[in-house]
Amino acid sequence: MTALPPHSPAILPAQPFDALLDLPDDTRVHTLSNGVRLLVIHQPGAPGVSVSVFLRSGGQHEPARWGGISHVIEHMAFKGSATRNCQQINLDAERLGAEVNAHTDRDHTAYQMRGLAAHTLPLLRMLADLVLHPTFPQEELDRERQVILHELTDVEDDAYAVAWRLFDQAAYGRHPFARPVIGSRSSIEKLTRQDLLDHLQQRCSGSNLIVAVAGPLPAEALLAEVEAGFGHLAAGAPNQVEPARWIGGVRIKRHGGSSQSQVVLGWPIARLDQLQPADAVAAAVLGEGMSSPMLDELRERRGLAYHINVVAEQQELGGQFVVEGATSPEQLPEFLEGSLALLRRHADRVEAIDLERARHQLLVRSLHDRERPMRRLEEAAVDLFVLGRLRGNRERLEALQSVDREAVRSRIETLLLQPPALAITGRAPAGTREHFAGLLERFELPLDPVSPPSS
């Protein structure tokens, strides 16, 4: 049997996008009179259901003195409501076999349950009770505060997590977008029960809340329950914050818990509302998969790192294109040089095979996401919060399909015009800051950070 040559067209479908453009958009939105939105992914015949409540309140919406309060409220939502204590909450969910989860991000907080389709309405009632009617019992707050402080200690002991925190500070300075979602030890210790009640009252309103369901019940069968549970909320105004301004700079911190150098290196890109698909494609071109230039060159050929990742994060207040990895202190200079060289090279030319690979990888990722109801609900909720509308399957795929080699090259060239943010934790050799400045000069990249806005 004759072997096919590398990249033979015979092993690739002629038009992989065209067959997927007409996949049904099964997501619908209904808005109550008070602004609460019911988001439904209708899955006829599905035996299970995913139910979520998304609140447009996260780390970026907090005053500095209350840093981490959204995360504390998320924890405390399961510690007592107007009708249930902590033990009853756990039992009521588990007697239905429901999986319960929650998390806090920069831009929103998510409360989620997954269970049997037959239990859809009871799960909706339970989430309405926990999210809208928490009582924040003092004794539970005292205990949970200690749990969160232990969680914070875990974060502080993780050199990788600390590197990301330093990166955010280098990139955005004192802007709320740069603050850690978990808060600080000082702010967590000072938060009172009344603080939690006040913050929830200020941030929880109809225009900032989405009830989301993926399962076999159509929206018409859910509206009455959602109206009963959430229809009493005042409409309020959307929780909004001014976009973050990129600053850039270098932060290096020794971390005794790591013998390696944890590196986070990045540049500003478009925000989510600016709808720039070439940024995500550029990240995939450079660092998606073992055949990508970053992994092939820096890991496979030169052995400079085990973990290397390139990601384009586009959020409401800012976007960032990040190269992250872990290397030895001895190889750190070469890792930084290699990363900048590859970026500089792709600002000049993007190979057709790399674009083809990246687009197919993002296409497959999109298909996998369609099989994950919780992820689809959250992605759709963020679209509603930030864009005020849903992006359908066709819109997303056509945007991806439209990105060509010149668009990717141009986006990389554009981001390199801004001063980078670099954070290194663990161990770094003496003179790393000066070495990095020399590399930027060698590759004709800007060095000086942007002056932060006056406070």
pLDDT on residue 393: 86
Residues in CB range of 20: below 8 A, 6 or more apart:
363, 367, 393, 397
pLDDT on residue 339: 98
On whether both 376 and 319 belong to a single domain, the answer is: yes
The CATH code of the domain that includes 301 is 3.30.830.10
On whether both 285 and 399 belong to a single domain, the answer is: yes
pLDDT on residue 23: 73
Q: Model's pTM, two decimal places?
A: 0.92
Average pLDDT, 10 consecutive residues per value, the chain (455 residues): 43 59 83 98 96 98 96 97 95 96 98 98 98 97 98 96 97 96 97 98 98 96 97 97 96 91 98 95 97 97 96 97 97 98 98 96 90 95 97 90 96 97 96 96 85 50
Report d(CA 145, CA 162) in Å as an integer.
21
- Torsion angle of C-alpha atoms 277, 283, 286, 289, degrees rounded to 10: -110
Backbone angles phi, psi at 209, to 5 degrees: -135, 135
The strand pair at 261-269 and 319-327 is best described as: antiparallel
- Interhelix angle 138-156/193-203, rounded to 10 degrees, is 80
User: Which of 201, 230, 259 is the C-terminal boundary of a domain?
Assistant: 230
Residues in CB range of 417: below 8 A, 6 or more apart:
446
User: Would 4 be classed as within a structural domain?
Assistant: no
pLDDT on residue 4: 41
pLDDT on residue 15: 60
Of 231, 284, 230, the C-alpha closest to 407 is: 284
pLDDT on residue 17: 65
On whether both 254 and 226 belong to a single domain, the answer is: no
Q: Could you give the number of structural domains in the chain?
A: 2
User: Would 197 be classed as within a structural domain?
Assistant: yes
Domain hosting 428: range is 249-442
User: Would 239 be classed as within a structural domain?
Assistant: no
pLDDT digits (tens, 9 = 90+) for 4-58: 444 444 444 446 667 677 777 789 999 999 999 999 999 999 999 999 999 999 9
